[in-house]
């Protein structure tokens, strides 16, 4: 359980480093996302993932995988 939380935390940290670029790419791929949906606030990464998960109708891990694929 602790390893899972640490992995999620490190995944979110990687996401936060390039968020402005990633948010543009996500908006291009998912036109239904708004600026508000993509607003990044440090320390509220979990809320961002929950919001994206809801808006895209995908599980949290699916959203993380999408973001990782865009980063690659």
pLDDT value at residue 10: 57
The confidence band for 13, taking pLDDT boundaries of 50, 70 and 90, is: low
Residue with tokens 């359980």: 1
**Residue 5 reports pLDDT greater than 80:** no
pTM recorded for the entire structure:
0.76
Cα 56 versus chain centre, distance? 11
Q: What is the mean pLDDT of residues 5-32?
A: 76
The confidence band for 42, taking pLDDT boundaries of 50, 70 and 90, is: confident
Domains of the chain with bracketed CATH: 2-71 (1.10.1470)
pLDDT value at residue 6: 45
In whole angstroms, how large is the CA radius of gyration of the chain?
Answer: 11
The residue that leads in pLDDT, 42 or 8, is 42
């Amino acid at each position: 359980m602790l390893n899972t939380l640490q992995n999620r935390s490190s995944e979110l940290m990687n996401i936060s480093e390039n968020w402005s670029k990633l948010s543009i790419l996500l908006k291009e791929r998912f036109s239904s996302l708004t600026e508000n949906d993509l607003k990044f606030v440090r320390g509220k990464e979990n809320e961002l993932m929950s919001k994206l998960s809801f808006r895209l109708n995908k599980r949290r891990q699916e959203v993380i995988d999408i973001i990782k694929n865009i980063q690659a």
